[in-house]
Structure 1
Amino acid sequence: MDLLQLRYFCKIARLEHITRAAEELHVSQPALSKTLKLLEQELGTELFDRTGKFIRLNNYGRVFLKYAEQSLEALENGKRELADMSSGQAGDIRLAFPVGSHVVPALLSRFRQQYPDITFTLIQHFGPSDPPRFDLCISSLPLQIPRVESLPLLTEELFLAVPADHKLAGRTSIRLEDASEEHFVTLRTGNDLRERTDSLCRIAGFNPKRIFESDDPATVRGLIRAGLGIALVPAVSWDGSVGEHVRLIRIEQPVCERTIGISWLEDHYLSKACLIFREFTVAYFHELALANAPGDSSV
C-alpha cells in the first residue's frame, strides 16, 4: 500500500465516480481502476459496490475511508508544521467564508497591510454535503461540519430591508408576520441567510412569497434597491451595502439574529499564519460590533 493508492481511493470515495475521479486526478481511467483493484486485493475486500458503470462506497469502504483520510491529513499536518518552522510569518491560508462577502475583503485588506507575506486561497461557495478542506472558515454558527471547533465573532440583528418608496418604509419597527403578503428577494436554497429567512418566516406563520432567487448577495441588494422586493438583511455584515434607496426596519417578533464565528477542523494543524489571522479576525469583528452598536436603523 502506498500514498498514491490512498489518495486515489479517497478521491473515488468522495465522488463515487471513476471517470470524474480520473479527470480530477489527471490520470487515465484504466490506470485508476487498476490502482483501486490492487488496493482492494491487498486489503482482501472490495471497498465499493459495483452495478454496471456505477460504484457506491460500501460499509468496508466507509470504515477504510475514515482511516485513509486521517493518515493523509496527518502527513499534510506534518508538512505544514515543517514549513511553519522555516517560514516565520509567511504562509498560505485556505479561508472559507460562506457568509461575510461584504466585510471579508476589508478584513483581508487590513490584515495584509500588517502581514504582506501571508497569502490566501479563498473558498466562498460550498454546501454541508460537500465541505471543502479549509484552514479557517468564517460562517454562521453552528457550522454543520463534523469535528469542528468554533469561536463566536459577533451576533448581528437581521432587519427587514424595503425599497425607500415601499409602503412599509416609514415604519421604525414591524412584526415579521406583517410582511407575509410581500414579495421577497432571497438567496438560493442552501445559503445560511436563505435558510434563516425561511425558518423565521415559518415561525411568524407564513412561507415567504419569493419573486427572485440569486446565488449572489450583491444581486439581492441590487434587486431591493430597484424596488423589486424585500429581504431580511444582516445589520453588521451587510452594513452600508444596500444603499440610500433602501430602508431597514427593526423586527419586533420573532427575534431575528444570527451569530457569525470562525471555525477550524479539530484534526487540522493550524500554522502560525492561521493563528495570527484568527486572532486578528476576532479583534476586527469586535471593532465591527462596537461600530455598529444600536442606533439609527435607516440607510
Structure 2
Amino acid sequence: MRLLQLNYFLNVAVTQNISRSARTLNVSQPSLSRSIHDLEAELGVPLFTRNGHSLALNDAGRRFAIQVRAGLNEVNHAVRDLHRFSEINSNQVTLRFESSTAVLPGLLERLDSELPMIHIHLMQNGFEQDRLHHYDFEFTTKPVFNNRNFHLLKEEIIVRFPKAHCKTSDMEVHPEELVKWPLIMTESNPLRDQMTSMLQQAGVTVRPSFVTGDRQTILGLVRAGQGICFMPQYSWAGTDVSGTVAYHFAPQKVFRDIYLSATESTMRLPYRSEIADAIQRYFVDLVAD
C-alpha cells in the first residue's frame, strides 16, 4: 500500500467517477482503475459499489476514507514540519575540533562576516555530551576515511627557547639535545602526541617538567627561563612569543598537516560548500600573514 494509491482512492471517493479522477490526477484511466482494484485486493474488502462508470463508497469505503483522510493529513503535517525543521537547521553548523586552537576566534569572526546567516556551534573532542551528536565539519591532523577532506595548511613545529639562554647561531636543534632542558608541554592533544612519538622514535624519553593547556602560560614560562616548548608555526597565531627564540629541528624539520573533513552527505546540505570555502580562504590568509 502506497501513499499515492491512497491519494488516488480519496480522489475517486470524491468524484465517484474513474474518468473524471483520471483527468484530475493526470493518469490513464486503466492505471487508476488498476490502482483501486489493487488496493481493494490488498485490503481484502471492496470499497466501492460499482454501477457502470460510476462508483459510490460502500460502508467499508466510507469508514476507510475517514481514517485515510485523517492519516494523510497527519503525514502532510509531518512533512511540512520536517521542511520547516530542515530550513531552520540548515543555518546551524557544528564545527568539531580535536583540541582548542588559537585560530578559533579569528575563524569565527571571518565566518560571521562572510556568512552572517549561519549560526556556528562548537564541539571539542572528549567533551561531547552525546557521543552520537552530529557535527558538520571536523578539524583534524589526518584525513578521515570516506570523507571529503580539505587540506588547510602544512605547518612546521618549532622549538621555543628562552632568548636569554640562546647561545648558538645556527638556530637548529637535534632531538637528543632536548634532554638538557626542562620540557613544558601542552595537555594531551594531537600536537603533544605527535611530538612524543617523534622523540621516542629518536630515542628520547619525554618527561615534561610542566603541563598546561594555556599557550600564554607555556610561552611565559619559556620566557622566564623555566624550560622549552614546542610550537606550531601558524595555529598558535596571536600568542606572545617575545623573549623567546625559535629553533628548527635538525637534521630534518618537523611538520604537521591540518584538514577540514566532512561527509559527502553533509557537503550536499545548504551552505556547507560556502562554509568550507570560507574556512579555506581564512587559512590561506593565515599563512600569508
Q: Is contact 2:150-2:261 (8 Å) kept? A: yes
User: How many angstroms apart in 1 are the aligned matches of 2:190 and 2:149?
Assistant: 17
**SS class of match (1:116):** coil
Q: Which residue of 1 aligns with 2:104?
A: 104
Q: Which residue of 2 aligns with 1:160?
A: 159
Change (3 A) 1:164 1:200: same
Aligned amino acid, residue 140 of structure 1 = T
Instruction: List structure 1 segments (4+ residues) > 6 angstroms apart after TM superposition.
Output: 78-81
User: How many angstroms apart in 2 are the aligned matches of 1:81 and 1:107?
Assistant: 31
**SS class of match (2:239):** coil
Query: Deviation of residue 171 (structure 1)?
Result: 4.6
Deviations 1:11-45 (CA, angstroms, capped at 9, x unpaired): xxxxxxxxxxxxxxxxxxxxxxxxxxxxxxxxxxx
**SS class of match (1:244):** coil
Structure having the higher helix fraction is 2
User: How many angstroms apart in 2 are the aligned matches of 1:158 and 1:164?
Assistant: 18
User: How many angstroms apart in 2 are the aligned matches of 1:119 and 1:231?
Assistant: 36
Q: Which residue of 1 aligns with 2:68?
A: none
- Taking only the aligned residue pairs, the percentage that are identical comes to 22
User: How many angstroms apart in 2 are the aligned matches of 1:169 and 1:226?
Assistant: 19
Change (3 A) 1:273 1:220: farther
Q: TM-score, normalised by structure 2?
A: 0.62
Query: Deviation of residue 205 (structure 1)?
Result: 2.0
User: How many angstroms apart in 2 are the aligned matches of 1:167 and 1:223?
Assistant: 15
Query: Deviation of residue 164 (structure 1)?
Result: 1.6
Q: Is contact 2:158-2:247 (8 Å) kept? A: yes
Is the counterpart of residue 261 in structure 1 residue 259 in structure 2?
Answer: yes
Change (3 A) 1:286 1:84: farther
Q: Where does 1:81-160 land on structure 2 (aligned, <5 Å)?
A: 82=83, 86=87, 91-99=91-99, 101-126=101-126, 133-143=134-144, 147-160=146-159
Q: Is contact 1:183-1:229 (8 Å) kept? A: yes
User: How many angstroms apart in 2 are the aligned matches of 1:116 and 1:221?
Assistant: 35
Aligned amino acid, residue 227 of structure 2 = G
Aligned amino acid, residue 112 of structure 1 = D
Q: Which residue of 1 aligns with 2:195?
A: 197
Deviations 1:158-205 (CA, angstroms, capped at 9, x unpaired): 10011222245755222222212221111223x101101101212322
Query: Deviation of residue 270 (structure 1)?
Result: 5.0
Which blocks of at least 5 consecutive residues in structure 2 are unaligned? Answer: 1-78
Aligned amino acid, residue 152 of structure 1 = H
Q: Which residue of 2 aligns with 1:229?
A: 227
Give RMSD over aligned pairs: 3.2
Query: Deviation of residue 127 (structure 1)?
Result: 8.0
Q: TM-score, normalised by structure 1?
A: 0.60
